[in-house]
Amino acid sequence: METLSENTCFGGVQGVYKHASDACKCDMTFGLFLPAEAKDGPVPVLWYLSGLTCTHENAMTKAGAQGWAAEQGIALVFPDTSPRGEGVADHDDYDLGQGAGFYVNATQKPWSPHFNMWNYVAEELPALLTTNFAIDGERQAITGHSMGGHGALTLAMNLPGRFRSVSGFAPISNPTGADWGRKQLSAYLGDDESNWAQHDSTLMMRETGFDGPILIDTGTNDQFIKLLRPEALAEAMAARRQQVINRLQPGYDHSYFFVSSFMEDHVTFHAEHLWS
């Protein structure tokens, strides 16, 4: 693992690191904020999964999360959204290929050799973090924005017991029912839609739900709201009587102005459950 940068931040350290990934078969870069408490021992961790076109850097520099995490004494990890580099498949469309990994393990060519973001986020990166940093692997929570919210919700529901809480900022909530989803899932996983279900939070909510609390925020002026389909997930959560705070925020769009406006709420929400 190579240290690309480390900066003092709110009494802790914001680092950026690169390593050779076995899952993605390329170099992967991630950001990690460690609060001051990490000097004395392992701390809980909140995962932040980013959306389409993003890298590890977007939320790390725009979300304003470190100050709130420092107050709560928790770490933040910012993975990249896809494999990258020479020899990694890409596409001319911004919502497919590099920057658009959708947190799945691709089974179809040309994506399958590298696009294994599920294994990367669920297995490889957690093991690397707990081995090399003061991270408490028993106290994890997860959040994400847009495509990252989709990833956060589906990972949480497919990995029971892993995360104490999950939240989403304008998550892609029903990808099997919208163009942000059907396009990518068919490309990465093939045309058999039975293979898509575990990557749709609405379908997973109907099937299993989440054994813990959920917080979701979506802006009423979100320019992509028809692709996000928040109403489908809301109906599934209501039918299951899921423990959830589901909010529509008047006037907010899909940008990081929206994300940063409610970041304190999300970090505080997760800290309550990480420290309980």
Total domains in the fold of the chain: 1
Amino acid 232: pLDDT? 98
Amino acid 96: pLDDT? 97
Amino acid 199: pLDDT? 98
Which pair of structure tokens corresponds to residue 193? 């839609």
Query: What are 249-267's pLDDT values in tens digits?
Result: 999 999 999 999 999 999 9
Rounded Cα distance between 211 and 227, Å, is 27
Angle at 11 between CA 37 and CA 129, to 5 degrees: 50
Amino acid 203: pLDDT? 98
Kind plus residue range of the DSSP H or E element containing 3: strand 2-9
**103 near 118, Cβ under 8 Å?**
yes
The residues annotated as belonging to the active site are: 146, 222, 254
Kindly calculate the radius of gyration of the chain based on its CA atoms and give it in whole angstroms.
17
The 8-class DSSP code of residue 46 comes to: E
The domain that holds 189 is classified in CATH as 3.40.50.1820
Side-chain-side CA neighbours of residue 119 (13 Å): 14
Q: In what order do the strands lie in the sheet with 244-249?
A: 2-9, 12-21, 26-34, 75-79, 43-49, 135-144, 166-169, 214-219, 244-249
**28 near 19, Cβ under 8 Å?**
yes
Amino acid 170: pLDDT? 98
Write out residues in the chain with pLDDT < 70, as ranges: none
Task: Give the residue numbers spanning the domain of 94.
Answer: 2-274
Query: What are 212-247's pLDDT values in tens digits?
Result: 999 999 999 999 999 999 999 999 999 999 999 999
The 8-class DSSP code of residue 1 comes to: -
Percentage of the residues of the chain whose pLDDT score is greater than 90: 100
Amino acid 242: pLDDT? 97
Amino acid 5: pLDDT? 98
Amino acid 224: pLDDT? 98
**106 near 189, Cβ under 8 Å?**
yes
